[in-house]
Structure 1
């Protein structure tokens, strides 16, 4: 059996300015399991080509096979934790509802906000993803009259678990969260620090003689 370890989270490395469920937390939201299991098939992870102004577009090429689970992740830079705005995603021609980005007042269950307004938003897209080409377009409130949210898009990542009876049997774990890593003095007189985080793959320890392992991590910096 091949064990594939997948971590899908954001480590926010505030190299100049470090600034509280899902909701806002300056230190960030700890990692929790979004999906785990065993399947004959694979885990597709792809996306991101750098910080850009909206509209932000990304294409994904998903392998053949029944889609068991899929989430689309979107990163947005707010500029400050007090600034508010919105993000809207279109995937394969399906326009999803606008998601308000409310910074310190955020209480959306699918929005992880930390630091000085770094957003990591997820969308359940199991019923939208198709085998082959998938197109995503992201818009934000940037440019609207009175808007203060920076609104630039860090990137977008698609995680999809697919079944393929001809593929090896694998075990996978997908984690999500948004941890803000920072040191002392990186933001004014900030004395505290939050410089490390960890994830334990307890279930993987029970696997006998794995043929290999893969680890995928998503980082954002500001």
Structure 2
């Protein structure tokens, strides 16, 4: 990589406005939020901001009583924060690649750890795969996102979308590599102990998600392991 002068570095890395949307990627790993009201973002994801912005961790009783217990037991990865006011906020998550999706009445499911931010017009709900409890440390909690607005999701490296249809048959994925799927799909948890034994893992690929029907599923070339804090 050639050595740059200070002026060349500043010109290449300076903040840019290329669209009028509230969400704009400054790079594939850094999201700029043009805040004028309220936006939800992953707690701890702010790296810089300008203007009059207030950050509030999502209240324990917010967005419906049904999420109360789920939030209490789903760990830090599912914690969201409100960003309110006017200004610019820059958010990122451990250098993961950011993808922006515009929902127009659509419903999608996203692994809870892979939700970076979403506009206030998006409704969210935490969903649980009950059969997976006790089988593995990750992939149990997901977020259902529905409505109108932009959603920012993250992945390790480039994501891959696999179509699901009755013609091609079901798609099986590793829960720790599964990022998102379309709202019309309801994954089934399946266990293949022989596969886990073959690969020398006690609780890895032996647990899979089975997607069947009509839709799509997004995977990443990385098996993300989630750790929950203990108190």
Same fold (TM over 0.5): no
Tell me: higher relative CO, structure 1 or 2? Use CA pairs within 8 A at least 6 residues apart: 1
Provide TM-score, normalisation by structure 1. 0.29
Larger radius of gyration: 2
TM-score w.r.t. the length of structure 2 is 0.28
